[in-house]
Amino acid sequence: VKPWPGLIETYRPYLPVTESTPVVTLLEGNTPLIPAPYISQQVGKGVKVFVKYDGLNPTGSFKDRGMTMAISKAKEDGAKAVICASTGNTSAAAAAYARRAGMRAFVIIPDGYVALGKLAQALLYGAEVIAIDGNFDDALTVVKQMAENYPVTLVNSVNPYRLEGQKTAAFEVVDVLGNAPDWLCIPVGNAGNISAYWMGFCQYHSLGKTSKLPKMMGFQAAGAAPFIGGQPVAKPETLATAIRIGNPANWDKAWGAKDASQGEFNAVTDEEILEAYRILAAHEGVFCEPASAASVAGLLKVKDQVPAESTIVCVLTGNGLKDPDCAIKHSDNQVKSGIKPELSQVAKVMGF
């Protein structure tokens, strides 16, 4: 067995890197495509559902795929500092890779709307964390201006290298299934990841590595669903803070992917997200963060449209440990506490 060398080495011929690109890697990628038998059964019709568990990347989200590329290219260009706006995961990934490359990492976050695990990561990795009185969209506007006026490289998904790295998730899906799935269900926030997956599938298709292309099914939180209304949302709200975004930067690319694939955008409520989040954990044994569960919530919402016998991949973008507060608050399950350390007491509370 050859050890996994990280996604840049694995997919080097398909990425814009050269011999002189200093590869900054934490051996990201190669995340499991896990069969989801319970969800498959819920959909019925002989459909096979898999989850692409990208929460198993080194910093716990798919952002590592984009960041290994963005930081390697920034280092190649001689950058000393990077900056990003973030709902949390981008900041954790930017911080880890930038610090590993010896750069400063500035992250601008919406004050009070970043999950605890993500904030903890950014701080300990050594990022310089700035919380603004505004939302992600406001933060993105500021960091774009910063990158235009000061010597800091922008590593949000408007940086083209981010999408180049993220497209490798589509390669991995095809490499495992032997073909593209019929549907790819994915949460949509700033709309970089759906665009990146589509790039990856199209590239593999043109190389003859897949004979088909999936329908791209993008799901937004109902309170932050600009693609459903067809216009930016001024005050996005959802408990899935990772996708609490009202004005996606990759608007045109994502619409292009949806249209070219004959896919669809849809919205899922916070309740539907939480239900999928609980199902994933309690029936499949997969703990993702709330925003990630939007892909499964969306699939369950539109399951009547699913073609019989089809293969579906739901992308789980982030690890459940990112947002422990949400898990504790929204689990139906509770700790049975105050029990004496005695056999009879423990047996009784266990129902024996």
CB 346 → ligand F0G: shortest distance, Å?
38
CB 187 → ligand F0G: shortest distance, Å?
4
Give the residue from 7, 5, 2 showing the smallest Cα distance to 170: 7
What radius of gyration, in Å, describes the C-alpha atoms of the chain? 20
Q: Was 333 annotated as part of a binding site?
A: no
Closer residue to ligand F0G, CB minimum distance, 74 or 194: 194
**What's the gap between Cα 321 and its chain centre?**
14
Q: Does 266 bind ligand F0G (CB under 6 A)?
A: no
Identity of the amino acid at 246: G
Please report how the helices 116-125 and 89-100 are oriented relative to each other, as an axis angle in degrees rounded to 10: 20
Alpha carbon distance 14, 18 (integer Å): 11
- Position among 199, 202, 242, 274 found at the interface with ligand F0G (CB under 6 A): 242
Contact predicate 7/68, CB 8 Å: yes
Percentages helix, strand, coil for the chain (3-state, rounded to 5) are 45, 15, 35
Q: Does 243 bind ligand F0G (CB under 6 A)?
A: yes
Name the one range near ligand F0G by CB under 6 A: 37-45, 230-238, 285-293, 324-332.
285-293
CB 105 → ligand F0G: shortest distance, Å?
13
Alpha carbon distance 310, 48 (integer Å): 6
Q: Does 214 bind ligand F0G (CB under 6 A)?
A: no
51 exposure class (CB count in 10 Å sphere: 0-12, 13-18, 19+): buried
CB 274 → ligand F0G: shortest distance, Å?
15
- Cα dihedral sign, 149-153-156-160: positive
Residue environment code for 151-167, b if the CB has 16+ CB neighbours within 10 A, otherwise e: ebbbbbbbbebbbbbbb
Q: Does 318 bind ligand F0G (CB under 6 A)?
A: yes
Q: List, in sequence order, every residue forming a beta bridge with 132; answer none if it has no partner.
A: 110
Closer residue to ligand F0G, CB minimum distance, 47 or 298: 298
Three-state DSSP class for residue 109: strand
Q: Was 112 annotated as part of a binding site?
A: no
Q: Does 291 bind ligand F0G (CB under 6 A)?
A: yes
Q: Was 193 annotated as part of a binding site?
A: yes
What value, to the nearest 5°, has the Cα angle with vertex 14 and ends 35 and 264?
50
CB 212 → ligand F0G: shortest distance, Å?
24
Q: Was 169 annotated as part of a binding site?
A: no
- Position among 58, 117, 181, 187 found at the interface with ligand F0G (CB under 6 A): 187
Q: Does 188 bind ligand F0G (CB under 6 A)?
A: yes
Q: Was 44 annotated as part of a binding site?
A: no
Please report how the helices 192-206 and 168-177 are oriented relative to each other, as an axis angle in degrees rounded to 10: 50
CB 240 → ligand F0G: shortest distance, Å?
8
Residues 52-111 that bind ligand F0G (CB under 6 A): 61, 63, 86-90
Closer residue to ligand F0G, CB minimum distance, 73 or 167: 167
- Position among 10, 57, 193, 261 found at the interface with ligand F0G (CB under 6 A): 193
Q: Does 135 bind ligand F0G (CB under 6 A)?
A: no
Closer residue to ligand F0G, CB minimum distance, 169 or 174: 169
What are the C-alpha distances in Å from 88 to residues 127, 178, 228, 261, 277?
12, 33, 24, 30, 19
CB 345 → ligand F0G: shortest distance, Å?
41
Q: Does 154 bind ligand F0G (CB under 6 A)?
A: no
Q: List, in sequence order, every residue forming a beta bridge with 61; answer none if it has no partner.
A: 318
Closer residue to ligand F0G, CB minimum distance, 39 or 109: 109
Residues that bind ligand F0G (CB under 6 A): 61, 63, 86-90, 157, 187-193, 242-243, 289, 291-292, 317-318
**Which residues are annotated binding-site positions for pyridoxal 5'-phosphate?**
89, 189-193, 317
